[in-house]
Amino acid sequence: MIPEDLLYAKSHEWVMVEGDIATVGITQFAQEQLGDLTFIELPEVGDAFEAGNEMGSVESVKAASEIYAPVTGEVIEVNEELEDAPEKVNEEPYGDGWLLKFKIKGEPEGLLDAEGYADAINAEAD
């Protein structure tokens, strides 16, 4: 299930853009590949990132993986609940499992729509 109303990075982050605010999380596909998450490291409010830069990491019982900024901007909010309950990302990757919010600088570029992301996943599986 890939929500149609979001944008996606090839590195498996999703983005919901509302004005100049972007809510970011990792996709259903990404959390399924990782398995049960045990730890999430997120940046601090006020940190700024260029799109494509590493901004944190997730660890699971199977692996660790970096999280990349899908947009350029400044972190304005971090989902504090994930510190004590990283499993929220497994349970609701597009809901309560969101990671952080950015104040976007410029227009988001290079992101995929749902169909493009589905094609990217299928190409990765081949």
pLDDT in tens, 32-47: 999 999 999 999 999 9
Model-level pTM? 0.94
- Nearest one of 93, 99, 97 to 55, comparing CA atoms: 99
CATH 2.40.50.140 for domain 7-125, yes or no, is no
Residue 100, strand partner residues: 24, 78
* 9-46 burial code (b ≥16 CB/10 A, e <16): bbbbbbbbbeeeebbbbbbbbbbebbeebeebebbeee
Report pLDDT for 106: 87
**Which segments of the chain have a pLDDT < 70?**
none
89: nearest Cα among 44, 1, 17, 26: 26
